[in-house]
Amino acid sequence: MKIIASYNIKGGVGKTATAVNLAYLSAREGNRTLIWDLDPQGAATYYFRVKPKVKGGTRALVSGHHDLDDLVKGTDFEGLDLLPADFSYRNMDLVLEDNKRPTKQLQKLLAPMAIAYDYVFLDCPPSISLVSENVFRASHALLVPMIPTTLSARTLDQLQEFLEGHDGLGKVNLMPFFSMVDRRKHLHIHLMETLPESFPTFLQASIPYASDVERMGLNRMPLPAYVPPSNPITKAYEALWAEIKAGLAKPRG
């Protein structure tokens, strides 16, 4: 089982669209796939037409009163399941602090899911927190969608500094990529040409800004489920997924 997190310190950069669309592509290939909506706002849960509610809330989940597979919901798509958001996730940091080894609780919860799933996608809230550190330690890949702007570049620096400053996180498989790209903007083009020079793990695939992505909220389903395969945005997500799989297959030093 591979755990893939869609994460950024900033909000509004395409984290949820990334997690939802890649999870759909994974399941479409025949992989047993789970997406866990860790964001109390519950956008991924909304896209899949599922009620954002977890029995017992965060405390029951983290304490192990329920197995994760008892909380999983099916979606309208074969092979793709969802662990929904819950508004109590806003207090997950506080609940994690009350446990032994508070930075490894998500890893512990997810371990038994390897029997049922090939890929698990984590849709993460925008923050640097105890939840974030749990995500970093549990994930095989940390996808960082970022808009090609100066502030986005700064948050990527901040994330890199955090990972390097904490034991066991310096070798996290960081996979930043450009999201919501507008090639009419000179700044976007400039940063896409220069920023990867400072981050050698930058993915080559990028996701353009497109109104089709915004329509996910109206259609309440993954984009490739309602956009033709020939559409450039569909092909962009497919290219991103192919590059991620190739990166996960490479041995790490």
Angle at 198 between CA 197 and CA 199, to 5 degrees: 95
pLDDT of residue 64 exceeding 80, the answer is no
Residue 56: per-residue pLDDT: 86
In which band, very low, low, confident or very high, does the pLDDT at 4 lie, cut at 50, 70 and 90? very high
- What is the tens place of the pLDDT at every residue in 191-229? 999 989 888 899 999 999 998 998 999 999 999 999 998
State pLDDT tens for residues 156-181: 999 989 998 888 887 889 999 999 99
Superfamily of domain 2-248: P-loop containing nucleotide triphosphate hydrolases (3.40.50.300)
> What pLDDT sits at residue 43?
96
Q: Give per-residue burial for 200-239: e unless 16+ CB within 10 Å, then b.
A: eebbebbbbbbebbeebeeeebbbbeebeeeeebbebbbe
**Domain ranges (residues) in the chain:** 2-248
